[in-house]
């Protein structure tokens, strides 16, 4: 019975999750299998003192995780300084639109962001809760990307 209910290949199932201080991210659920594939892809084998060592390429991992973050909301004048260093001589807009470049800055500078993403993109409960909440709000279908 359960096997008939399970989405064996969930595809690109999206959900909104709050990072902190009002910043919400639209993330793609990747599941444990795809997470392991990403980790393997981002792991290099090096030789140190005649010993083989596995090392995670953090830049490549960041770039892979950036692919599964599709949007944000709630980033702007009221909270952007909590996530990245902002020049003093610029006026901060009320809301800051999503961009992959901006996302990479946040991923590099915001404390705890990388750990949050690792935990969230494999959290079935958080993604399903978000999808159900959005479905209730819109009375439409569950969000997916084709």
Burial of 117 (0-12, 13-18, 19+ CB in 10 A): buried
How far apart are alpha carbons 28 and 40 in whole angstroms?
Answer: 19
Q: What is the distance between the alpha carbons of residues 42 and 61, in angstroms, rounded to a whole number?
A: 6
Cα–Cα dist 4/118, whole Å: 28
- Residues 18-58: tens digit of each pLDDT: 999 999 999 988 888 888 999 999 999 888 888 888 888 88
Query: How confident is the model at residue 140, as a pLDDT?
Result: 54
How confident is the model at residue 146, as a pLDDT?
47
Count of alpha carbons within 13 angstroms of residue 12, beta-carbon side: 9
Question: Between these two residues, 90 and 146, which has the higher pLDDT value?
Answer: 90
**Environment class of residue 73 by beta-carbon count within 10 Å: exposed (0-12), middle (13-18) or buried (19+)?**
middle
> CA torsion sign, 55 to 71 to 34 to 101?
negative
In this predicted structure, the answer to whether residue 132 has a pLDDT above a threshold of 90 is no
């Amino acid at each position: 019975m359960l096997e008939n209910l399970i989405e064996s290949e969930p595809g690109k199932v999206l959900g909104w999750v709050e990072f902190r201080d009002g910043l919400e991210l639209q993330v793609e659920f990747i599941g444990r299998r795809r997470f392991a594939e990403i980790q393997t892809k981002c792991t290099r084998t090096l030789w140190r003192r005649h010993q083989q060592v596995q090392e995670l390429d953090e830049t490549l991992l960041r770039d892979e995780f950036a692919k599964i973050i599709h949007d944000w909301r709630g980033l702007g004048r009221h909270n952007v300084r909590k996530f990245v260093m902002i020049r003093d001589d610029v006026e901060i807009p009320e809301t800051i639109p999503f961009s992959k470049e901006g996302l990479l800055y946040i991923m590099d500078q915001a404390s705890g962001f990388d750990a949050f993403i690792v935990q969230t993109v494999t959290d079935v409960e958080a993604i399903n809760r978000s999808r159900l909440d959005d479905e209730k709000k819109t009375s439409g279908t569950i969000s997916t990307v084709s």
